[in-house]
Structure 1
Amino acid sequence: MTAAYQFPDAPFMTASEVAKVVRLSQNHVYHLADMGVIPSVRFGRAVRFPTAVMKQLAEAKTEKPDSAGTEPGLS
């Protein structure tokens, strides 16, 4: 995911930029932020997402698990 997307140099990203990274709609990104699933910061009415944290989340999601079948719920 990180190889296909060029993260901005700015410290914060817009919902539109985050939506492109995670391949979801902007509304869903806002919903995830409201639920506390992804971190966000409010600047007045504007909601922004820390670029460094989004990079870490994208890298964590692209890493392969150490061994197959170790996730809960898998048999």
Structure 2
Amino acid sequence: MNAASNHPPACVDPLLTYRQAAKVLGVTERTVWTLVHDGALPAVRFGRSVRIDPADLRAFIERGKRGGIGGER
């Protein structure tokens, strides 16, 4: 195994903390925790650490755009 294989490919976005995801969304960390806990926002768990994939955050935002405030009717 060479040293280059110890690092993720450059095309992989760094995972976000609750704080970073909250800043992107303009909400509190508690709101992000609730979204993850309720299953509305996927998260990756590493032991006790939880991270948000930026692609999942973008998808969450897009779902909100399509559904509008209050969801689709």
TM bucket normalised to smaller: 0.5 to 0.7
Q: Tell me, which stretches of 5 or more residues in structure 1 are unaligned?
A: 1-8, 66-70
Considering fraction of residues, name the structure with more strand: 1
Match of residue 46 from structure 2: 43
**Residue from 20, 27, 44 that aligns with 1:17:** 20
**Aligned alpha-carbon RMSD (Å):** 2.1
- Scaled by the length of structure 2, the TM-score of the pair is 0.63
Q: Tell me, which stretches of 5 or more residues in structure 2 are unaligned?
A: 1-12
Q: Secondary structure at the match of 2:41?
A: coil
Regions of 4+ moved over 2 Å? 55-63
**Residue from 31, 40, 57 that aligns with 1:54:** 57
The one of the two structures with greater contact order (alpha-carbon pairs below 8 A, sep at least 6) is 1
Q: Secondary structure at the match of 2:45?
A: strand
- Scaled by the length of structure 1, the TM-score of the pair is 0.62
Quick one: distance in 2 between partners of 1:60 and 1:28?
A: 17
